């Protein structure tokens, strides 16, 4: 949308009349900061940023936006990687950071009710203090917000054991694009009364409504964990190791990364690699010690993996501190490679197809990116791989993107062949929108458009994200 300066100043006046002026900003620093998420390649260009404090204010903002036909971009911790929270076309960004209260905890229902701007780690800590556990977890826990986690159906490092954000949302309050307030599922476990609209909003990337409150399920904390790190010489060994441990022990996480990824983390972090033998690949595994024999069984499987040649070395963290250091080797990859403006892919296939898919994908990457550094890592136990292609210093950002885009078709065609997903957990936003059709059929995309039209008939909520509307 283009807005001339007269219009813009009228819009600002009316926004300032709606909220306190201190909660409306259009300073260039704020526009740059709040106008984008962690995706690197889209220039932000929002009109203004607003900070509502209540559901009523959110409703008023939506009514205001309808009246002025002014698009809104809901915004959380802005840790997304697909431009879902990027305002690139003069939108007003609705930051939820002031709606950040934990409202209620109920130990009998095992649930916690929060506003959308609560930071993931703050919620995890609060729930732990109540003697419970909130299991949706990922490296961006210190900045990401619950509303964003719901809007993107966040995944992360414990999906293997606990599932996605979707599984933990017991109730949702949303303001639709028509300004209507909906209370969805109200924290119920059983509710067989027709369509579960709550689930429609989870993962909808702010295109259907703004989340103003959520009731989340919590669970008992896991038993003590064992954290192991393995070096794996060949691709083939990764899933053999997975199968062997998964079939016999309670896995909490099964993550992989390449030696290249490890090299970048070691370079900048002061961490050391605890393994004697470096290999092409590494697996970080977390097990729950549900019984006294888990440790012995794990050591048996470790020895047998060594004998089979699936692994070259392994280490068991000897203290919680060392376990955290093992995890940093995996979790710091994004930060350690961000200097190179990586072109990121976040893909998935069925777990049973991972070995075959990895081999084919390796071929595509080697053939088409012979001169680029490609860093692989991810939640391989969920069939989810992150592939970051690092920009060589010698190429301009545009030249680099053009080269990457030329390979997209090949990579995504391969994913389509395996009936996989072009975005496993990072969402579609703006970045993956051109590739949606590799994972979703025309009929599905059309139905999604029609659903958006029902909740947001004026097209004011995060327009142009996931798919383009026809109007
Ligand atoms: C991760 O698994 O570390 C995140 O999804 C972030 C990323 O892919 O860079
Ligand atoms: Zn991830």
Reading the block at residue 42, the tokens are 């889209």
Task: To the nearest 10°, report the CA torsion of 116, 121, 124, 130.
Answer: -100
Q: Is 334 in the pocket of ligand 1 (CB under 6 A)?
A: yes
Reading the block at residue 450, the tokens are 């029609």
Q: Is 351 in the pocket of ligand 1 (CB under 6 A)?
A: no
What pLDDT is attached to residue 41?
86
Ligand 2: distance of its center to the CA of 341 in Å? 17
Ligand 1, pocket-test mutation among 333, 389, 431, most atoms within 8 A of CB: 333
Q: Is 452 in the pocket of ligand 1 (CB under 6 A)?
A: no
What pLDDT is attached to residue 168?
98
Phi, psi of 427 (to 5 degrees): 85, 180
Closest ligand 1 atom to residue 330 Cα is 3
Taking each helix axis from N to C end, the angle separating 259-269 and 320-331, rounded to the nearest 10 degrees, works out to: 110
CB 16 within 8 A of CB 64: no
Q: Is 386 in the pocket of ligand 1 (CB under 6 A)?
A: yes
What pLDDT is attached to residue 471?
56
Ligand 1: distance of its center to the CA of 328 in Å? 12
Single out the residue of 223, 277, 275 nearest to residue 250, CA to CA. 223
Single out the residue of 42, 35, 171 nearest to residue 94, CA to CA. 35
Closest ligand 1 atom to residue 255 Cα is 2
What pLDDT is attached to residue 268?
82
Single out the residue of 366, 338, 228, 218 nearest to residue 285, CA to CA. 228
Sign of torsion over alpha carbons 139, 140, 141, 145? negative
Contacts 24+ apart (CB under 8 A), 389-397: 389/342, 389/343, 389/344, 389/345, 390/337, 390/340, 390/341, 390/342, 391/340, 391/341, 391/342, 391/343, 397/41, 397/341
- How many other CB atoms sit within 10 Å of the CB of residue 123? 21
- Give the residue carrying structure tokens 């109730």: 171
Closest ligand 1 atom to residue 379 Cα is 2
Q: What is the pLDDT along the chain (471 residues), one digit of tens a residue?
A: 444 667 888 889 999 999 999 999 999 999 999 999 999 789 999 999 999 999 999 999 999 999 999 999 999 999 999 999 999 999 999 999 999 999 999 999 999 999 999 999 999 999 999 999 999 999 999 999 999 999 999 999 999 999 999 999 999 999 999 999 999 999 999 999 999 999 999 999 999 999 999 999 999 999 999 999 999 999 999 999 999 999 999 999 999 999 999 999 999 888 999 999 899 999 999 999 999 999 999 999 999 999 999 999 999 999 999 999 999 999 999 999 999 999 999 999 999 999 999 999 999 999 998 889 999 999 999 999 999 999 999 999 999 999 999 889 999 999 999 999 999 999 999 999 999 999 999 999 999 999 999 999 999 999 999 999 865
Ligand 1, pocket-test mutation among 82, 329, 377, most atoms within 8 A of CB: 377
Ligand 1, pocket-test mutation among 138, 257, 423, most atoms within 8 A of CB: 138
State the Cα–Cα distance between residues 37 and 80, nearest whole angstrom.
Answer: 5
Query: Going along 87-180, which residue ranges are E strands?
Result: 92-95, 102-106, 111-114, 169-176
State the Cα–Cα distance between residues 346 and 359, nearest whole angstrom.
Answer: 17
- Give the residue carrying structure tokens 């205001």: 64
């Amino acid at each position: 949308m283009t807005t001339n300066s007269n219009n813009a100043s009228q819009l600002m006046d009316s926004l300032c009349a709606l909220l306190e002026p201190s909660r409306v900003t259009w300073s260039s620093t704020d526009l740059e900061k709040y106008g984008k998420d962690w995706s690197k390649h889209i220039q932000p260009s929002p009109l203004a940023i607003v900070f509502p404090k209540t559901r009523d204010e959110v409703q008023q903002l939506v009514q205001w936006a309808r009246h002025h036909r002014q698009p809104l971009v809901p915004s959380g911790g802005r840790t997304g990687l697909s431009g879902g929270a990027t305002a690139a076309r003069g939108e007003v960004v609705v930051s939820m950071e002031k709606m950040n209260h934990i409202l209620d905890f109920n130990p009998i229902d095992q649930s916690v009710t929060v506003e959308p701007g609560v930071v993931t780690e703050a919620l995890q800590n609060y729930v732990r203090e109540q003697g419970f556990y909130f299991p949706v977890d990922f490296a961006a826990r210190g900045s990401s917000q619950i509303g964003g986690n719901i809007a993107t159906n966040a995944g992360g490092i414990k999906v293997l054991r606990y599932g996605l954000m979707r599984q933990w949302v017991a109730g949702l309050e949303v303001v639709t694009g028509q300004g209507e307030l909906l209370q969805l599922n109200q924290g119920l476990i059983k509710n067989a009364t027709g369509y579960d609209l709550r689930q429609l909003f989870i993962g909808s990337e702010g295109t259907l409504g703004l989340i103003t409150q959520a009731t989340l399920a919590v669970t008992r904390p896991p038993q003590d964990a064992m954290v192991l790190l393995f070096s794996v010489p060949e691709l083939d060994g990764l899933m053999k190791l997975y199968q062997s441990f998964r079939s016999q022990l309670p896995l909490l996480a099964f993550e992989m990364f390449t030696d290249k990824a490890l090299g970048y983390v070691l370079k900048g972090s002061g961490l050391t690699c605890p393994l004697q033998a470096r290999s092409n690949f590494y697996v970080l595994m977390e097990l729950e010690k549900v019984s006294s024999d888990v440790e012995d069984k794990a050591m048996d499987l470790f020895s047998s993996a060594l004998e089979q040649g699936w692994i070259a070395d392994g280490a068991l963290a000897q203290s919680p501190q060392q376990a955290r250091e093992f995890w940093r080797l995996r979790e710091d990859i994004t930060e350690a490679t961000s200097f190179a403006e990586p072109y990121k892919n976040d893909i998935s296939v069925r777990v049973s197809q991972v070995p075959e898919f990895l081999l084919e994908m390796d071929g595509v990457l080697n053939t088409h990116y012979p001169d680029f550094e490609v860093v692989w890592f991810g939640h391989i136990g969920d069939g989810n791989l992150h592939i970051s292609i690092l920009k060589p210093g010698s190429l301009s950002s545009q030249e680099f993107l053009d080269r990457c885009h030329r390979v997209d078709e090949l990579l995504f065609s391969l994913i389509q062949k395996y009936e996989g997903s072009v975005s496993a957990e990072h969402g579609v936003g703006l970045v993956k929108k051109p590739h949606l059709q590799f994972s979703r059929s025309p009929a599905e995309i059309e139905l999604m458009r029609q659903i958006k039209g029902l909740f947001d008939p004026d097209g004011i909520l995060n327009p142009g994200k996931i798919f383009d509307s026809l109007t």
